[in-house]
A and B are shown apart, each in its own frame.
Chain A
Amino acid sequence: MNPALSVILLTTLIGAGQGLFVALYVATLVAPGRVSPHFAVVASAVSATLLVLGLVASFFHLGRPERAWRAAARWRTSWLSREVIVLPAFTAAVFAYGVAQARAPAPAMEWIGAAATLLCVTLFVCTGMIYACIRFLQEWATPLTVVNYTLLGCASGAMLATALAAYLEPALVPGYAAATALATLAGLATRTLSLVRNARLRPKSTVQTAIGIKHPSIRQISPGFTGGSFNTREFFHHRTREFLRAIRWLFLVLAFPLPLALLWAGTALALPFAIAAAFAIQYAGLLAERWFFFAQANHPQNLYYGLTG
């Protein structure tokens, strides 16, 4: 596929926003007295902002953004439709949680938090399933897609929570740093697993099944046009294998070991700036990771245009 910047921004921004909220809510459960309303309000506000920014980015993917409201119609069959419903609902829940924290102790706060967490998990599943449910995009059609979206979002959000805590609530930093390291390492493990899986994939479709001619030697003479078309633009990245390999190493370094090293340094030396930098570098790494995720998927329609990655 040809990675679209709008979708890359959408999935990485909402992933960080979701992870940040999970980090906040779990902290209120694990260490009830130590999360100050001030920190909770700031974290909720940052999380909601990231979610709104992701929503705004998604509009740039649409040909007719003024009709976006229609996308809520087919939630019975379409994971995209489900995401379109759950994302604003979750954003509203995070906002409500922030408001409740500001007026703490508000009685409904626990319930709002629980509902928002449920919506958050649903949103992770919806986002991942949008890609995992397309069975002939074999690189995506695996439960690992959902797992990776969830773990990488949690890692990014937990890193952001650690950075915020370093500035606002230093007592929370050790716990958050440990959670971030755990989520990042888990994300590294499952992402590596999906890379190994995808490297061993055998494409089910070949040019023989695409045009139905059983001969080992088939060569395309003409794609049916002299210039490009939607088919040659939308489904292929038009980069070299070397470029893809470079991006893969880039994200493997930027999203996992480098931010972890910075996080360790920032925690050990009490440098909030280092932890903030760790979040920024990890986010950049996740942008590369998402780019690679899209670029690596080989759409069978490329067989009709002689495009192979």
Chain B
Amino acid sequence: MTQLALVIDLNVCVGCQACVTSCKEWNTSGQAGGLADLNPYGADPTGTFFNRVQTFEVGEFPNTQTVHFPKSCLHCEDPPCVPVCPTGASYKRAEDGIVLVDYDKCIGCKYCAWACPYGVREVENERKVMTKCTLCVDRIYDTGLPPSDRRPACVMACPTSARLFGDIHDPESEVSRAIRDHAGYALMPEWGTHPSNHYLPRRRTDAHHHDDQLVRADNPLHIEGRQPKPSPKDPALDDVTSW
């Protein structure tokens, strides 16, 4: 069984919000309807977003780390939002595990949002139905796009490749390997929702400098800053000029 999901690497997310804006751009332009912003230039703007990047400070000054934390629907393997829906508008696809809302069936009762511990479902301000991340289901199967573009908009936009997309049930997929190799974890495991999206923790980055790197053991003249001059006959970078 396929379970599509995102794996988000907190070690490389820089909090640039590119995934937020590209998600909004893609999902407000689709056939399903827009994601309205109310009062966008006023004192109290509000809008519907499928993906938000929050920022946390971990630790006490001066030993702090700034963690940027993107949050969207986790496409739980046991989604608590699905069975509570009275109309069947909220459902989990058997073929790829994406949790979706049928906007034509939704009555906007908000019960599914109450039943989601992660707060990733939002009532659309104008359409008055529940909306959420679709993993860009209208994009990842679009054969009109080149295969490299058949990925969620947020994944395409991430400049640091902090977002990986794939099938977490395939043990050899890029996302499964990332979860295995970098101790990927799920959010709020205590509720047994088994989120499909995983997060990769911060990793310690240590730089080890060995003495021979500092004194350039490969410099035969032991003179720092002066490169050995090659022969004019040696091949040059552009094959025209010499060193």
Whole-angstrom CA separation of A301 from B118 in the bound complex: 5
Interface residues of B in 27-79 (CB under 8 A from A): 39, 44-49, 52-60, 66-67, 69, 71
- Cβ–Cβ contact A220 & B55, under 8 A: yes
Contact among B44, B45, B199 with A212 in the assembled complex (CB-CB below 8 Å) = B199
| B107 interfacial contact with A, CB 8 Å | yes
Interface residues of B in 78-92 (CB under 8 A from A): 80, 82-89
| A136 interfacial contact with B, CB 8 Å | yes
Seed contacts A79-B84, A224-B71, A301-B117; 16 additional CB < 8 Å A-B pairs: A62-B109, A63-B108, A63-B110, A64-B128, A65-B107, A70-B88, A70-B89, A78-B84, A209-B189, A211-B67, A212-B199, A221-B66, A225-B45, A225-B47, A230-B48, A304-B54
Q: Which residues of B contact A218 (CB under 8 A)?
A: 56-58
- Cβ–Cβ contact A304 & B71, under 8 A: yes
Q: In angstroms, how far is the closest chain A Cβ from the Cβ of B238?
A: 48
Could you say which of B109, B111, B199 has the most chain A C-beta atoms within 10 Å of its C-beta?
B109
Whole-angstrom CA separation of A217 from B117 in the bound complex: 22
- Cβ–Cβ contact B87 & A70, under 8 A: yes
- Cβ–Cβ contact B122 & A62, under 8 A: no
Q: Which residues of B contact A80 (CB under 8 A)?
A: 84, 86, 109, 111
Whole-angstrom CA separation of A176 from B57 in the bound complex: 61
Q: Scoring B residues 90 to 127 as 1 if CB is less than 8 Å from chain A, else 0, what string do you get? A: 00000000000000011111110111111100110001
- Cβ–Cβ contact B108 & A215, under 8 A: no
Can you name 24 A-B residue pairings with CB atoms under 8 Å? A65-B107, A67-B87, A67-B105, A70-B89, A80-B86, A134-B115, A137-B114, A209-B187, A211-B56, A211-B67, A211-B187, A213-B67, A213-B202, A218-B58, A219-B57, A220-B57, A222-B55, A224-B54, A224-B55, A227-B39, A227-B44, A230-B48, A234-B123, A299-B114
Q: Scoring A residues 287 to 304 as 1 if CB is less than 8 Å from chain B, else 0, what string do you get? A: 000000000000111101
Interface size class of B (residues with CB under 8 A): 35 or more
Q: Scoring B residues 163 to 198 as 1 if CB is less than 8 Å from chain A, else 0, what string do you get? A: 000000000000000000000011111110000000
| A229 interfacial contact with B, CB 8 Å | yes
Pair count A-B, CB < 8 A: 178
- Cβ–Cβ contact B201 & A213, under 8 A: yes
Could you say which of A68, A74, A299 has the most chain B C-beta atoms within 10 Å of its C-beta?
A74
Q: In angstroms, how far is the closest chain B Cβ from the Cβ of A99?
A: 30
Q: Which residues of A contact B155 (CB under 8 A)?
A: none
Whole-angstrom CA separation of A224 from B52 in the bound complex: 6
| B20 interfacial contact with A, CB 8 Å | yes
Whole-angstrom CA separation of A71 from B107 in the bound complex: 8
Contact among A62, A211, A227, A305 with B46 in the assembled complex (CB-CB below 8 Å) = A227
Interface residues of A in 82-102 (CB under 8 A from B): 84
Nearest neighbor of B52 in chain A, beta-carbon distance: A224
Whole-angstrom CA separation of A235 from B111 in the bound complex: 12
- Cβ–Cβ contact A230 & B56, under 8 A: no
Nearest neighbor of A300 in chain B, beta-carbon distance: B117
Nearest neighbor of B40 in chain A, beta-carbon distance: A227
Q: In angstroms, how far is the closest chain B Cβ from the Cβ of A21?
A: 24
| B129 interfacial contact with A, CB 8 Å | yes
- Cβ–Cβ contact A304 & B55, under 8 A: no
Interface residues of A in 189-247 (CB under 8 A from B): 204-205, 207, 209-213, 215, 217-231, 234-235
Whole-angstrom CA separation of A225 from B45 in the bound complex: 9
| A73 interfacial contact with B, CB 8 Å | yes
